[in-house]
Amino acid sequence: MAHKITSFIIVEANRVKRGKELPPGPPAKSAPHYFEKSVPAQHILGQEKIKVDGVEIVLAAKTYHPDAILVEGTFEVENIFENDGLIELKDKVHEACYEFAKKNGGKDEPAEEYAVYQISGYKGDPELFLKGHAAKIAGLLKSEKLELDEKEVEHTLASQFKYAKDDLIIVDWDGAFVFDPEGEFEETIELFELANYQLLRYRILDEDLDERMRQMSKLIQAEDKRRKWLWPSREVTQEFREVIRVRSQSVTQFEGLEREIKLIGDWYLARLYDLLSKKFRLEDWRERIKEKLDSLEDVYSIASENLGMSRMQRLELIQIWGFFILQIGWLVLIILEFFYFTR
C-alpha cells in the first residue's frame, strides 16, 4: 500500500511566464471526458527537489496564465495514519512552496493552501479505513492537532464522494483524502487545484471591487467639493474612466469564471467539482460578487447622472453669461448712437 501527499499553494502574480503547457493526463474514470478542453490549462515553469526534516520533497511550479502561480510539494510517507508529525511537515512544505513561488514572481497574498492525502495499492472497500482512523483523517483534513469531538469528526467525514466500489474521496476546506487502488490521482488533484484557483480568483475580484467602490466614493466626494466651480478636475475624470474600465473588465472576468465552471461535463469530475463548490461555498462568492457588481453599476449610474447634470449646468451658465454680455453690448451701442445723434 502506498501513501503519498501533495501539498500545494496558489498565489497571485503580477505577470508570469507562460511556460510549457502540460499534456493531459489519463482520464480519472472511464466516462465522457471533456475536462482538459474546458478548464484553464496549466503550464510548467520548473521543478526541484529539496529535503524537509529528512523527507525528500519534489517541488513543481506551474502557472495559470497570466496571473497565478501554483506550486506543488509532493512526497511519500510510510503510513499516513501513524505519522504524528504530518501537520507540521505539511506546514513546512507549504513554506517551501511559498519560497519557490516567490522565485517565480509570486506574491505572499492573496493565496490558497491545500493538501491531498493519497492512498493506493489496497484491496477492498476503502470505507474500512474510516472505522479505525476516522479521528486521524478528520484532524488532518482540518489541520487540527487537538482531539476532535465525535460529532465534529462525523460532520467532517460526511462530505464524501464515491464513484466506483473501491474508491473514495473525502473533502474539507483545508484538504482531502483520496483513495484509489490504481493510484490514478493526477486529474483529481488538478480538479482540487482548479477549485482553489477559482476561489482565489473570486477573492481577488472581490477585493478589487471593494477598492473600486472606495475609489468611486472618493471620486464623488472630490466632485462635490468642486461643484461650485462646475468643472470636474482632470484627475477626477481619469479616475472615473478607470472605474468604468475596471468594472467592464470585472464583468468579463466574472462571466469567464462561470463559463469555465459550466463546461466541466465529465460525469465523475462534474460531480466531484459540485461537491468542492459546495464545500468552498463558491456559489456564495458568486452571489456576493454579483451584488457588488450591481452596486457598483448603481453608484456609477448615479455618479454619471450627477456629472451629466453638472455639464448641463455649465452649458446653461455659459448661455446666461453669453446672453448677458450680448445685452451689455447692445446697450453700449444704443448709448453710443444716442450721443452720436444728439451731438
- Which helix (DSSP H) or strand (DSSP E) does residue 93 occupy? helix 86-103
- Which helix (DSSP H) or strand (DSSP E) does residue 161 occupy? strand 160-161
pLDDT of residue 251: 67
At what angle are helices 267-280 and 186-225 packed, to 10 degrees?
40
Angle at CA of residue 336, ends 330 and 339, nearest 5° = 140
Round the average pLDDT of the chain to a whole number and report it.
80
pLDDT of residue 17: 67
Q: pTM of the entire structure?
A: 0.78
Is the per-residue pLDDT at 237 higher than 90?
Answer: no
- Contact assessment for residue 267 and residue 32, using Cβ atoms and an 8 Å cutoff: yes
Cell 489541520 locates to: 143
**Pick from 124, 115, 8: nearest CA to 59:** 8
% pLDDT > 90, the chain: 32
- Contact assessment for residue 199 and residue 280, using Cβ atoms and an 8 Å cutoff: yes
- pLDDT category, 291, cuts 50, 70, 90? confident
User: Which residue would you say has higher pLDDT here, 323 or 185?
Assistant: 185
Residues whose CB is less than 8 angstroms from the CB of residue 37 and which lie 6 or more positions away in sequence, other chains included = 263
* Burial class of 241 by CB neighbour count within 10 A (0 to 12, 13 to 18, 19+): exposed
CA–CA distance from 109 to each of 112, 113, 170, 332 (Å)?
9, 11, 27, 71
Query: pLDDT tens, 23-80?
Result: 555 555 654 444 455 567 788 888 899 999 999 999 999 988 778 899 999 999 999 9
What residue spans define the domains of the chain?
A: 2-185, 195-333
Residues whose CB is less than 8 angstroms from the CB of residue 167 and which lie 6 or more positions away in sequence, other chains included = 126, 179, 180, 181
pLDDT of residue 241: 67
pLDDT of residue 57: 94
- Contact assessment for residue 97 and residue 73, using Cβ atoms and an 8 Å cutoff: yes
At what angle are helices 128-142 and 150-157 packed, to 10 degrees?
100
Q: Is 119 in a helix, a strand, or coil?
A: strand
Alpha helices in 263-341 (DSSP H): 267-280, 282-341
- Contact assessment for residue 45 and residue 20, using Cβ atoms and an 8 Å cutoff: no
Of 5-9, 108-112, 306-310, least confident by mean pLDDT is: 306-310
At what angle are helices 186-225 and 282-341 packed, to 10 degrees?
30
Neighbours of 278 (CB within 10 A): 13
Is the per-residue pLDDT at 102 higher than 80?
Answer: yes
- pLDDT category, 228, cuts 50, 70, 90? very low
